[in-house]
Chains A and B, each alone.
Chain A
Amino acid sequence: MMSFLSYLKDGISLGSIYAIIALGYTMVYGIAKMLNFAHGDVIMVGAFIILSSITKAGLSPALAILAGVVLCTLMGITIEAVAYRPLRKAASPLAVLITAIGVSYLLQNLALLIFGADAKSFVTVIDVPALVLFDGKMTIKGITIITIIACIVIMSVLTWFVKNTKPGRAMQAVAADKDAAQLMGVNVNATISLTFAIGSGLAAIAGLLLCSAYPSLTPYTGSMPGIKAFVAAVFGGIGSIPGAMVGGILLGVIEIFGRAYISSQIADAICFAVLIIVLLVKPTGLFGKNIQEKV
């Protein structure tokens, strides 16, 4: 029983990191209708920026996090403007997807050239005492608590932002129908830029939390969590903000249980099997809306 609870805790902890990454995915996918393959690599870049601003530039953790978020936001906007926007009206839907793969590769290889291939150990940025439960039978690490709180806060703020502010409602309009939104005076380019800005800023925070929980950073750190977070976003229903959170946490729990009770070597396979089953049984995910394709 105790080990079950402990696995559950690990699962929720991993899942809330997936959830934060998935929030970025789901925002971009819901609004720009594109799979941003480079999202996982923005996470990696964010973690590297935070790490180097602390170890190389000697900034305080708070300033370093700020630097990471700001630089990632700028990077997200730049990537969108340079690589994705020109292809938004391309004849083939594959064009933007392949470009996104190119961007992902570019970020990985730039990081490889700048920081090298060997794993860097991430510094402790968040120092919160662990929570001890059941007379010491179970400890919840400080970073786990922070991750879960961060996840809930980000989700609530994003939900509020999308529902109640003018730019948020513009996002909803662009997600529903780009052309109609444009006719109603919504600046589609600016709205999509804003989405990428938010998604990439969140990616920096996700990078911080990911590397605080698993403190080893390489240029490839972001790619697998990025893909799994996409699985989480699909699981929860792509485009849905609460869906990303629920999907992320469920996926984290499934992965940890799979690792513990089935086999640690095929935990990734179990995660991906979840994706395939979800897409076969309920392609719109848990919270997704069904959209009919029209001629």
Chain B
Amino acid sequence: MKMNKTTKNNMITYLMVIAAYVIVQTMSSTGHLSRLLSGLLVPICVYTIAAVSLNLVVGFSGELSLGHAGFMCVGAYASSIFSNIASDMPSVPRFIIAVLIGAAVAAIFGVIIGIPVLRLRGDYLAIVTLAFGEIIKNIINILYVGVDSEGLHVATSSQNFHVAADGKEILKGALGISGTATLYKDLRDYFFLIGVILVLVTLFIVQNLVNSRTGRAIMSTRDNRIAAESVGINVMKYKMIAFVISAALAGVAGVLYAHNMSMLKVSTFDYNMSILVLVYVVLGGIGSLRGSIIATVILYALPELLRGFATYRMLIYAIVLIVMMLFNWAPAARDWRSRMMEKFFGKKNEKEAA
């Protein structure tokens, strides 16, 4: 079968994910997977989706978003509230609708946030996305949601929050939502499979977007905004497309996270979570989707597996982050690298040039 280079490249990424799934699944069914490791599988899928979606904004649209955890938070809460309200639905369609709701609500927030944020550039954009992440966290923290025979109740303080005896309190402010995972007992064993499917769907969406006309327009706004504008590309529109799709996919990551957890607390989705996802993106290579996946799997699994290393985990992340940025982006380091390449592979390069 003849495939062009892009298709082949995309296929390799899908196959890599599927192969990883098959290997892990075989190990798990033959009992070679420790409890600790099998507990990591779904979170790895969550962070993979988050990293791939963040890479769309950081790598392809060229904007630094520090509010990614905010979108995950919105997706997580919206879908958990839905799952709790619709608890008498069969679990498979309920989960599918929950994913769609999480993505849709996160996308709506993406639009609301994107309109003011994307008018800004660089540092300002980074700090405002950070601010939005904090605002979302703050607001969900005081939100009370319950349902009873009279319908849905929403309040902003526990004093104003009254749910009749036949109903149930779903979201209780800072206490969060508990028991979403128990609504999906029958799907429990398939959560890793669901996670992998969601990773593949995310990859499918992002890879196809990036290699489309829209994707090339998005990259042109990254490379040179003014040049892109001058050839008639609507910069705001394309930045918005990337931002909203990224937000929606982060929402999906949030849905998966929320439905795998027995307790959902807003304090999890803090600034550090956004930074962690950013670390995965940077170490995997900004603009490389496959890199994001590999980096997430390795960086998430390693510190959990090597006990004792955990104390130094964040410290090592920080150092690696700085060193990687210097090595990859500093003009001096780039010169040095190309000199080294010439020295060792000089002849090969000449051949290619000829």
Contacts and interface: CB of A to CB of B under 8 A. Distances in A.
B282 A273 contact: no
Contacts of B135: 268-269, 272-273
B318 A109 contact: yes
A269 B128 contact: no
Contact of B278 (A98, A275, A295): A98
B314 A87 contact: no
Question: How many A residues are at the interface, by size bracket?
Answer: 35 or more
B333 interface: yes
B314 A109 contact: yes
Interface stretch (A42-50, A99-107, A143-151): A99-107
Question: How many B residues are at the interface, by size bracket?
Answer: 35 or more
A230 interface: yes
A97 interface: yes
Given A35-B127, A90-B330, A269-B135, A106 B325 contact: no
A263 interface: yes
A87 B329 contact: yes
Main secondary structure on chain A at its contact with chain B?
helix
Contacts of B132: 272, 276
A200 B322 CA distance: 20
A280 interface: yes
A269 B315 contact: no
A97 B64 contact: yes
A87 B131 contact: no
B176 to A, nearest CB: 14
Contacts of B299: none
A35 B278 contact: no
Contacts of A89: 331
Contacts of B122: 93-94, 97
Nearest to B127: A230
A92 B326 CA distance: 12
B130 A113 contact: no
B93 interface: no
Contact of A35 (B126, B142, B311, B331): B126
A187 B276 CA distance: 37
Contact of A86 (B123, B226, B330): B330
Contacts, number: 127
Contact of B134 (A86, A87, A98, A272): A272
Interface string A277-295: 0011001000000000101
A123 interface: no
B120 interface: yes
A121 B242 CA distance: 46
A63 interface: no
A133 interface: no
Interface in A108-132: 108-110, 112-113
A283 B120 contact: yes
Contact of A102 (B142, B318, B328): B318
Given A83-B326, A99-B325, A94 B318 contact: no
A91 interface: yes
Interface string B139-156: 101100000000000001
Contacts of B141: 265-266
Contacts of A295: 226
Contact of B131 (A97, A105, A231): A231
B64 A98 contact: yes
B73 interface: no
Nearest to A90: B329
Interface string A201-215: 000000000000000
Lowest 6 CB-CB distances: which A-B pairs, in order? A272-B131, A102-B321, A95-B329, A105-B318, A269-B138, A106-B318
Given A87-B325, A109-B315, A266-B139, 11 more contacts: A94-B64, A99-B321, A99-B325, A102-B318, A105-B275, A106-B319, A223-B271, A263-B156, A272-B131, A273-B135, A279-B120
